[in-house]
Amino acid sequence: MLLKTTQFGEIEYDQEAVIKFPNGIPGFDDENAFVLIPSGDIDFPFNTLQSEQTPDLAFVVTDPFLFVENYDFEISEYDIETLKLQSEEDLKNIIALSIVTIPDNVENTTINIVAPIIINTKDKIGKQVLLHEYDEVKYPIFTKKSEA
């Protein structure tokens, strides 16, 4: 299948790669299907979460564990149900991604550590969750790695 994107043009993708967001993403409630587009460079830790429906809607995302030392959180029971995580084994099939905000001065780039996107990679279900463990939404990533 072809995925139309504003950033990359048309990209070929497999329908099985589509991640369903039953509740959308906050602020984009009607956007229920995304494709994770890897950067293609193993040394570049940023990827793109592209809407399947809207070519103009894409988020730069990254693994928050690469930037935040001792980043740890618990997922609520509601989120566990939404993500269909029914066993301890299912927890091995999740990834966490943070949305990246890139301002004009790239050195001031931040990630959102309060509301990571959790993806059940086995069942291809995603949800942006709200954490209560952190209060700094815009976490700077191009400073010395430290605890949140």
Domain boundaries, the chain: 2-147
CATH architecture designation of domain 2-147: Roll (2.30)
Residues 83-122: b if buried by 16+ CB within 10 A, e if exposed: bebeeeeeeeebebbbbbbeeeeeeebbbbbbebbbbbee
Closest among 27, 26, 128, 24 to 76, alpha carbons compared: 128
Largest Cα span, the chain: 43
Q: Count, in order, helices (H) and strands (E) of the chain.
A: 1, 13
Give pLDDT, residue 27.
94
Q: Which residues pair with 17 in a beta bridge?
A: none
Q: What is the mean pLDDT of each run of 10 residues along the chain (148 residues)?
A: 91 94 95 94 90 96 94 92 92 95 94 97 96 86 66
How is residue 26 written in tokens? 């906050």
Give pLDDT, residue 142.
87
Percent helix, strand, coil in the chain, to 5, is 15, 35, 50
Instruction: State the residue for tokens 């043009």.
Output: 9
User: Rounded distance, CA 60 to CA 122, Å?
Assistant: 22
User: Rounded distance, CA 142 to CA 27, Å?
Assistant: 27
Give pLDDT, residue 134.
82
From residue 133, give the alpha-carbon distance in Å to each of 50, 74, 75, 95, 119: 28, 8, 11, 18, 19
